[in-house]
Amino acid sequence: MIHYTCDLCGKALLANEDTRYVVEIKVYAAYDPMEITEADLEKDQTEEVRELLDEMADMDAEDLEDQVYKTYQFDLCPACQAQYIKDPLFREASRRLPFGNN
């Protein structure tokens, strides 16, 4: 039997019981179209590309991928789904957190 758990509250969600909701989040780099001029086409980009490759050589492959595209999937119970729909970025919840004066 498949067993699911709400990723927010931890409630057990059985496949044959209450409704279970799935939240899928995609985070990716947004690229706006660039205007390429004649001067851009005539310029030698070799050194710039070499510098970029040198920078990337010291970076972790997973970190590089995360800068371009990352997906998440979460299971939610009906109560947490209703809460999520009202405040998907948890802006209101973060305002209510009790922070001390340190």
In this predicted model, what pLDDT tens digit does every residue of 17-54 receive, in sequence order?
768 899 999 999 888 888 888 888 888 889 999 998 88
State the Cα–Cα distance between residues 7 and 77, nearest whole angstrom.
8
Higher-confidence position of 2 and 61: 61
Rounding to the nearest 10 degrees, give the CA dihedral for residues 12, 15, 21, 22: 100
- State pLDDT tens for residues 58-68: 888 888 888 88
**Averaged pLDDT for residues 93-101:** 66
- State pLDDT tens for residues 8-24: 999 998 777 768 899 99
